[in-house]
Each structure stands twice: as structure tokens, then as C-alpha cells.
């Protein structure tokens, strides 16, 4: 079991949806990495596609549908197809069997496959029967190369975030208070030692992909402590720096704050 990070989403891609999404929940909502801003469509039909154009080839070996609902008259199935980097038209199937994603409650779906480096990817949501989808909504899609660290952390601490009450005082002494967040948010504090050069390269790529403003605003990402069985949405909190402690041996102290 390994600690795995999933950080590549669709923010740099051009998306084409084959049907007509709810105007309040457009397909572009899939590109912000936020699991609570949804793409949504209803009464769709038996088959819809989302075509992804990365602009240039991207190596991918996993896909995650985050916070999705897919309901149909019968079992809704999902298959992933990929296309050549040249035309974005002739798509080939990477899955022999369709995977059932029928769900009437919000959940996550993850599948892995052999690495393919392609510019165009097509995601097919197919009921494979004469029945129709009733509802399809997705918070975010992650499509890229999973990053597994070479070993588990030496130190791992989990605790809950504390929330303060904000008190604002206006002219005349009028005060207003608000609670930051009433929901418990987990914070994970890790320390990895003796990471290797591959880990270093991967973590530098990860850092560059989640920092929008050089350490200020940060994108959410998904991580797993058990090779993808359990998925958490989080952001980095504090520094994300690597320290070389010996020749080609690195230390990483990381803090992940849960994204609710």
C-alpha cells in the first residue's frame, strides 16, 4: 500500500459536451477542481460524451470522477476512450468491460489503466440499453498520471481544525459575529524521510501544479493513504519544501487540510 497523489485535472483543457448541460451547471465547472461546483444534466438520453482536448499530449493512467451522481432506468455504465494526438476523432477503447457507476448519492469513482500519452480523450457515459439516463452530475474530473511515493511517512498525525468566531465592530459599536465553519475539517501532518530523486521530481511537479500564486492560493487535489482505495480531497497548508539530508536523500514535511 502506498501514499498516492492525484493532482492533474482539466483546468488547462478544452471540453466539448455532446448534449446540453443545465445552464446553471455548465461543463466548464469540471475544470476548477472544486468538488462542490457541479456539471449537471438531466433527461439526457442513452449515451453522452465529454471530449477533452489538452492542447498537447498528456500521459494518463487514471481517471477519477469526484462527487458524482449517475442514475438511469437501469445500471449506468462508464467507459473511457482515448484518441490519437493528431485528429481527436478516431477514438479507441481502453477498457474491455464497462464499469458500472450507477449511484443515486454523491460518491467517487476511480479506475486505472496502462499509461497512454494522448492529446484527445473522450469520456463516454453509456447506459448500453434502450433506457435513458435520468441524472448525471459531477463535481470534478481528475485525469492524469498518479504519483505514488516510494514509502509511507515516518510521522503521521491527524487532528481536527479549530474554528474561531469572527467579531466585527462597525461605527457606533455595533458588532456582528460569525463562525468560520461548523463542520469538522481534518488536518494531516506528515513527515517523509529518505525520499529518493524520483520522489523529489514528482513532488516538484505536484507543487507547481497546485500552487496558483507561488504559495498563496492553492488548488485542491486528491490523495490516498492506501493506493487509491480511500480518497481524500485536500489542499496543502504551509510550506511545501524539500530538504536534502544526504546525497540523493530528501525530507518532506507536509500538511494537508481537508477540502469539505
Domains 4-147 and 155-258 share a fold: no
**In the predicted model, what is the mean pLDDT of residues 230-241?**
86
DSSP letters for 84-116: -TTTS-SEEE--SS-EE--EEEEEEEEEEEEEE
Least confident of 87-101, 109-123, 128-142, 191-205: 87-101
Which candidate, 144, 128, 16, 145, places its Cα nearest to that of 78? 128
At residue 81, the pLDDT reads 80
Q: How confident is the model at residue 38 (pLDDT cuts 50, 70, 90)?
A: very high
- Right CATH for 155-258 from 1.20.1740, 1.10.3470, 3.30.70, 2.40.30: 2.40.30
Q: How confident is the model at residue 15 (pLDDT cuts 50, 70, 90)?
A: very high
d(CA 139, CA 29): 7
At residue 240, the pLDDT reads 75
Q: The whole model's pTM is what?
A: 0.86
At residue 181, the pLDDT reads 59
d(CA 137, CA 9): 17
- CATH architecture, domain 4-147: Sandwich (2.60)
d(CA 189, CA 197): 22
Q: Where are the domains of the chain?
A: 4-147, 155-258
Q: What percentage of the chain exceeds 70 in pLDDT?
A: 83
Which candidate, 144, 187, 180, 150, places its Cα nearest to that of 165? 180
Amino acid at each position: 500500500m502506498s501514499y498516492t497523489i492525484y493532482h492533474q485535472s482539466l483546468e488547462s483543457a478544452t471540453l466539448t459536451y455532446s448534449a446540453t448541460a443545465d445552464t446553471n451547471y455548465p461543463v466548464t465547472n469540471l475544470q476548477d477542481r472544486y468538488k462542490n461546483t457541479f456539471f449537471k444534466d438531466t433527461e439526457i438520453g442513452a449515451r453522452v460524451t465529454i471530449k477533452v482536448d489538452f492542447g498537447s499530449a498528456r500521459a494518463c493512467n487514471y481517471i477519477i470522477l469526484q462527487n458524482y451522481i449517475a442514475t438511469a432506468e437501469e445500471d449506468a455504465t462508464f467507459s473511457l476512450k482515448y484518441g490519437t494526438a493528431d485528429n481527436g476523432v478516431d477514438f479507441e477503447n481502453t477498457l474491455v468491460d464497462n464499469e458500472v457507476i450507477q449511484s443515486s448519492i454523491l460518491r467517487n469513482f476511480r479506475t486505472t489503466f496502462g499509461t497512454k500519452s494522448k492529446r484527445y480523450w473522450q469520456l463516454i457515459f453509456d447506459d448500453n440499453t434502450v433506457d435513458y439516463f435520468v441524472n448525471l452530475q459531477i463535481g470534478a474530473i481528475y485525469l492524469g498520471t498518479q504519483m505514488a511515493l516510494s514509502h509511507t511517512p515516518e510521522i503521521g498525525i491527524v487532528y481536527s481544525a479549530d474554528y474561531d468566531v469572527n467579531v466585527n465592530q462597525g461605527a457606533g459599536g455595533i458588532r456582528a459575529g460569525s463562525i468560520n465553519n461548523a463542520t469538522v475539517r481534518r488536518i494531516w501532518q506528515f513527515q517523509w524521510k529518505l525520499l529518493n530523486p524520483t520522489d523529489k521530481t514528482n513532488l516538484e511537479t505536484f507543487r507547481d501544479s497546485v500552487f496558483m500564486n507561488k504559495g498563496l492560493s492553492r488548488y485542491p487535489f486528491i490523495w490516498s493513504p492506501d493506493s487509491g482505495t480511500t480518497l481524500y480531497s485536500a489542499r496543502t497548508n504551509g510550506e511545501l519544501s524539500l530538504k536534502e539530508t544526504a546525497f540523493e536523500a530528501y525530507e518532506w514535511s507536509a500538511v494537508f487540510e481537508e477540502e469539505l
